[in-house]
Amino acid sequence: GAVVSQHPSRVICKSGTSVKIECRSLDFQATTMFWYRQFPKQSLMLMATSNEGSKATYEQGVEKDKFLINHASLTLSTLTVTSAHPEDSSFYICSARDLTSSYNEQFFGPGTRLTVL
């Protein structure tokens, strides 16, 4: 099956620093990747849709200047949390859609747990 990796799996940083999270589709090309955020005991919240070679589409209420998304290749998308603050601490999950699959389902990376001190 399709595999999506995410790096790092866990990061702790100081307030005011920037953190980059990578999402890679390992065995398929992903023209579209999605970035989600999940707070404890809550459901997934879509932050943005990342399309290869074009600007990401952000959901309402998500600051595009704070959460920078780059999807420079068909297998890699990055999310940079700029000037992170404690309220940005969350579980960030990426997913990629494999258009060759029968179901168009999204395959999820293992997630990145961000803790901002």
Partner 1 sequence: GQNIDQPTEMTATEGAIVQINCTYQTSGFNGLFWYQQHAGEAPTFLSYNVLDGLEEKGRFSSFLSRSKGYSYLLLKELQMKDSASYLCAAMDSNYQLIWGAGTKLIIKP
Select from 79, 93, 96, 114 the one that contacts partner 1 (CB under 8 A): 93
Considering CB under 8 A, how many residues would be counted as binding partner 1? 19
Which among 95, 38, 35, 40 has a CA at the least distance from the CA of 66?
35
Among residues 5, 31, 49, 82, which is the contact residue for partner 1, using CB under 8 A? 49
Residue 16 or 110 having the CB closest to partner 1: 110
Listing DSSP states for 68-115 in one string gives EEEEEETTEEEEEE-S--GGG-EEEEEEEE-TTSSS-PEEEP--EEEE
| Of 3 and 16, CB closest to partner 1 | 3
Instruction: List residues binding partner 1 (CB under 8 A).
Output: 34, 42-44, 46, 49, 91, 93, 97, 103-111, 113
